[in-house]
Amino acid sequence: MSTLKNYRNMPVKLVHVPTGKSLTFGDAITDFRGETTTINSMRPPHKSSSAGFVNNFYASVYFCEYVEIDE
């Protein structure tokens, strides 16, 4: 899998905010309604005011955020 990059061309990872766990494709995830699904798409933020997307919903729907990482 290629590294996900944000609008600053920095590598990012998807993090579940309540647990701090890193998430990737195929991981189970629960939305704010309590419905569980599998991560099948991820799009990091494309501008500074964007939160990014998970499964075509804002990352915050799943209590997640994209965090820049050092390579």
- Mean pLDDT across the chain: 94
Nearest alpha-carbon partner for 32 in 67, 66, 59:
59
Residue 68, pLDDT > 80, answer yes
Residue 45 lies in a domain: yes
Residue 59 lies in a domain: yes
71/10 Cα distance (integer angstroms) = 9
Confidence tier at 22 by pLDDT (50, 70, 90): very high
Residue 38, pLDDT > 80, answer yes
What Cα–Cα distance (Å) separates residue 46 from each residue in 41, 52, 60? 15, 7, 15
Residue 6 lies in a domain: no
CB atoms within 10 A of CB 40: 10
Residue 36 domain boundaries = 12-68
Compute the CA torsion angle 51, 31, 29, 10 (nearest 10 deg). 0
What is the total count of domains within the chain? 1
